[in-house]
Chains A and B, each alone.
Chain A
Amino acid sequence: MSTWAIEAENLVKKFPQRGNPATQGNSKESSDKKEKKSHWPRFKHKPKQLFTAVDGVSLQIECGEIFGLLGPNGAGKSTTIRMLCTLLEPTSGTARVNGFDIVKQANEVRRNLGTVLAGERSIYWKLSGRENLEYFAALYHIPPAIAKKRVEELIERMEIKDRANELVEKYSTGMRQRIAISKALLARPPILLLDEPTLGLDPQAARNLRELIVDLQKEGHTILLTTHYMEEADLLSDRIGIIDTGKIIALDTPDGLKQRIGQSEVVKLEVSGWYEKIGEQLRQLNGVENLSAHKADTDGVWEVSLHSADSRAILPGVVETVNHNGTHLLNMNIVRPSLEDVFINLTGKALRD
């Protein structure tokens, strides 16, 4: 048996795509070198375009570890997880889950995995919570007597005993997510794949779910977690792989990643009246290495992050540049770098862009 819970080597996934390649995405290629000539001139064979969703992902996850896969929407997180749980076949590369090959031993892989994809939509709303769990227990080939016991245990643990016989359509999003996670735990798989598990949950439900994830790790589960919430990845993960445009661009512990950018501090600004030219001027200041700006929830206020090897040295220039032509500096903080700052440093863009 492998020493790694999950190991992937150079996983690549390409999807055929329709449309004009000149106007789409950045990771495109043609599957045919030249356009094929047709005997019918009006029906030219267009070369098939391929979109590379995952581009050579390699990773090794230790048994008992929480591994966070962090990246913006469309970075390739879900495609990677879908390959690992056998829903997708890789175009090239290999991966093993608990020692089983994801293509050649797909059924063994499924027996060793508990997966939560699509959250609350992954269960039946016209069945009760208990009926859902009984159904999925049968699909995972759990003998009836054991299934009955486990369903009751999970209902108890997830604190839905009073409402276990109600239809799921009457549950809150948080309760549905707990049923989805219970479903993944029914077969007591050694490895859990959780794809954006707190997406759409209210803060309290998200906090409860994070506590549950930590408890599951303590019980011995290996957990691969995808998220685009950097705080969540930071809080839960033993190690984090940052993924962007289908590639893992950094992989380390949360602290290791933060130390990598070589800065102990980041300057955070809140600015009103922001316009793009100010960003260009700030980038040109001596000592400013990276800048990202996005509109805050408040009307007209922008949040700006400045990366510099010596944050304090750039402050006078920053204040002078920002307070100009009707633009006002509303707030300024010097903070320790977050994973968002790591991502900005690596890619030049914010996670939410």
Chain B
Amino acid sequence: MTTQPFTRSLANPGAGADLRSLLAVVRKEWLIFVRYPSWIIALFIWPIIFPLGYILTARALSGVDGSGLAQFQANTGLSDYIGYIAIGTTIWMWQNIVLWNVGFSLRNEQLRGTLESNWLSPTWRFAHLLGSSFPQLFSMFIFLTISALEYIFLFGVNFQGSLWLALLVVLTAIPSIYGLGFAFASLVITAKEANAFVFLVRGIVMIFCGITFPISLLPTWMQPLTNWLPQTYIIRAMRSATLSNAGLDAISHDLGMLLVFGLLWLTVGYVAFNWMERRARQTGAIGQY
């Protein structure tokens, strides 16, 4: 065998070659993902543990006879407080997991020492970030499915809307949730650690998007801020689609806003990545641990 160099490169740059690179990144990420099987436990445990604290708090506050729930229904228009909390906390968990997984994907490559190897290839560099999000997205579909089944069979939630409408909400939520993850990934490479930013963002989502309470309960001055967070629209649309049997018309405004936010956050994520990539070439940040 010889490795005799070619005078002309075999490289065939173009959309096809970059697509194959992207698929190779997806395959690599998937293989690594399934070789750390502890995530399966988290998929089953978290949908129970996280909302349970809020559900028990709500039960405690509603009184021995549950009379306080009438006030909840008056505020939200919904009687199923468990479903209400479950949907809010699930969307929060989705965003949180994306911030940790997609947001730290490049940083993990950097710590492993493989980021430079990837950067040395002539492939489209954004493919490394984009490719890492596909297995994560697939695992999130499993997570959302397991969550829904646990809510139905363990918590007794009565989902009554259209499954397809719920799926449409999930699909329109993807660009904004993952766009934020892409922006985070670039920030983490630059700042080396961004735990504080993750805590800040998920804290903001927790308070301003009403994951366990109606936004109308927020102080008046805080309420306009909720309109600037895509998670507000995801949670509202998902509750409408699955708990109050709303049709497409009822949630079309929320879906439209999600698409606008999705476009915005994907653009922010892509611009942030290119800025980070350029800056890293000047400062050597890619090779620094």
Residues of A that sit less than 8 Å from B by CB: 15-16, 79, 82, 85-89, 107-108, 110-113, 115, 117-118, 121-127, 131, 134-136, 138-144, 146, 153-154, 156-157, 167, 183, 185, 187-191, 216, 219-221
Whether A139 pairs with B112 at a CB distance below 8 angstroms is: no
**Further pairs besides A139-B21, A157-B3: 14, Cβ < 8 Å:** A16-B283, A87-B286, A107-B13, A121-B112, A122-B117, A123-B114, A127-B28, A127-B31, A135-B28, A139-B118, A141-B17, A141-B20, A153-B1, A220-B4
Instruction: Identify the closest chain A residue to B28 (Cβ).
Output: A135
A136–B21 CA distance with the chains assembled, in angstroms: 9
Whether B11 pairs with A140 at a CB distance below 8 angstroms is: yes
B279 to chain A, nearest CB (A): 10
Whether B5 pairs with A131 at a CB distance below 8 angstroms is: no
A108–B121 CA distance with the chains assembled, in angstroms: 10
- Please, which residues of chain B bring their CB within 8 A of the CB of A135? 24-25, 27-28
B38 within 8 A of A: no
* 9 A/B residue pairs, CB under 8 Å, sorted by A: A89-B281, A111-B11, A111-B122, A113-B120, A124-B114, A134-B24, A138-B21, A141-B10, A220-B4
- Please, which residues of chain B bring their CB within 8 A of the CB of A107? 13, 122
- Please, which residues of chain A bring their CB within 8 A of the CB of B18? 141
- Please, which residues of chain A bring their CB within 8 A of the CB of B123? 138-141
A187 to chain B, nearest CB (A): 6
Whether B10 pairs with A143 at a CB distance below 8 angstroms is: yes
Whether B281 pairs with A187 at a CB distance below 8 angstroms is: no
Whether B281 pairs with A87 at a CB distance below 8 angstroms is: yes
Instruction: Identify the closest chain B residue to A79 (Cβ).
Output: B284
Whether B117 pairs with A136 at a CB distance below 8 angstroms is: yes
Whether A138 pairs with B23 at a CB distance below 8 angstroms is: yes
Whether A110 pairs with B122 at a CB distance below 8 angstroms is: yes
Whether B121 pairs with A131 at a CB distance below 8 angstroms is: no
Count class of interface residues, chain B: 35 or more
- Please, which residues of chain A bring their CB within 8 A of the CB of B36? 126
- Please, which residues of chain A bring their CB within 8 A of the CB of B120? 85-87, 110, 113, 115, 117
- For B7, B27, B281, the residue with the greatest tally of chain A CB atoms inside 10 Å of its CB is B281
Q: Which 8 pairs show the lowest CB-CB distances between chains A and B?
A: A121-B113, A138-B24, A139-B121, A141-B17, A190-B5, A110-B122, A153-B1, A122-B117
B142 to chain A, nearest CB (A): 20
CB < 8 Å: which of A122, A219, A221 contacts B114? A122
A113 to chain B, nearest CB (A): 7
CB < 8 Å: which of B3, B21, B284 contacts A221? B3
Whether A122 pairs with B113 at a CB distance below 8 angstroms is: yes
- Please, which residues of chain A bring their CB within 8 A of the CB of B31? 126-127, 131
Decide: A112 near B24, CB < 8 A? Known: A87-B286, A122-B114, A157-B1: no
Residues of B that sit less than 8 Å from A by CB: 1-7, 9-13, 17-18, 20-21, 23-25, 27-28, 31-32, 35-36, 112-114, 116-123, 281-284, 286-287
B191 to chain A, nearest CB (A): 14
Whether B122 pairs with A141 at a CB distance below 8 angstroms is: yes
CB < 8 Å: which of B35, B114, B281 contacts A88? B281
A63–B21 CA distance with the chains assembled, in angstroms: 30
A153–B20 CA distance with the chains assembled, in angstroms: 21
- Please, which residues of chain A bring their CB within 8 A of the CB of B287? 82, 87, 117-118
Whether A142 pairs with B5 at a CB distance below 8 angstroms is: no
Whether A127 pairs with B116 at a CB distance below 8 angstroms is: no
B206 to chain A, nearest CB (A): 33
Interface of A is mostly: mixed
Whether B9 pairs with A138 at a CB distance below 8 angstroms is: no
Decide: A122 near B121, CB < 8 A? Known: A185-B3, A221-B3: no
- Please, which residues of chain A bring their CB within 8 A of the CB of B12? 141, 143
Whether A117 pairs with B281 at a CB distance below 8 angstroms is: no
B286 to chain A, nearest CB (A): 6
A221–B20 CA distance with the chains assembled, in angstroms: 27
Whether A127 pairs with B32 at a CB distance below 8 angstroms is: yes
A141–B282 CA distance with the chains assembled, in angstroms: 26
Instruction: Identify the closest chain A residue to B278 (Cβ).
Output: A89
A153–B112 CA distance with the chains assembled, in angstroms: 27
A87–B284 CA distance with the chains assembled, in angstroms: 7
Whether A136 pairs with B121 at a CB distance below 8 angstroms is: yes
Decide: A140 near B121, CB < 8 A? Known: A107-B13, A121-B112, A135-B28: yes
- Please, which residues of chain B bring their CB within 8 A of the CB of A138? 20-21, 23-24, 123
Whether B10 pairs with A118 at a CB distance below 8 angstroms is: no
A316–B145 CA distance with the chains assembled, in angstroms: 87
A190–B121 CA distance with the chains assembled, in angstroms: 15
Instruction: Identify the closest chain B residue to A53 (Cβ).
Output: B284
Instruction: Identify the closest chain B residue to A182 (Cβ).
Output: B3
- Please, which residues of chain A bring their CB within 8 A of the CB of B118? 139
Instruction: Identify the closest chain B residue to A187 (Cβ).
Output: B10
Instruction: Identify the closest chain A residue to B9 (Cβ).
Output: A111
CB < 8 Å: which of A15, A124, A141 contacts B21? A141
Instruction: Identify the closest chain B residue to A184 (Cβ).
Output: B120
Whether A124 pairs with B20 at a CB distance below 8 angstroms is: no
Whether B113 pairs with A112 at a CB distance below 8 angstroms is: no
B80 to chain A, nearest CB (A): 43
Whether B10 pairs with A146 at a CB distance below 8 angstroms is: yes
A237 to chain B, nearest CB (A): 19
A220–B10 CA distance with the chains assembled, in angstroms: 17
Decide: A140 near B122, CB < 8 A? Known: A87-B286, A124-B28: yes
- For B3, B18, B116, B118, the residue with the greatest tally of chain A CB atoms inside 10 Å of its CB is B3
A123 to chain B, nearest CB (A): 7
Decide: A117 near B116, CB < 8 A? Known: A88-B284, A138-B24, A188-B4: yes
A125–B28 CA distance with the chains assembled, in angstroms: 11
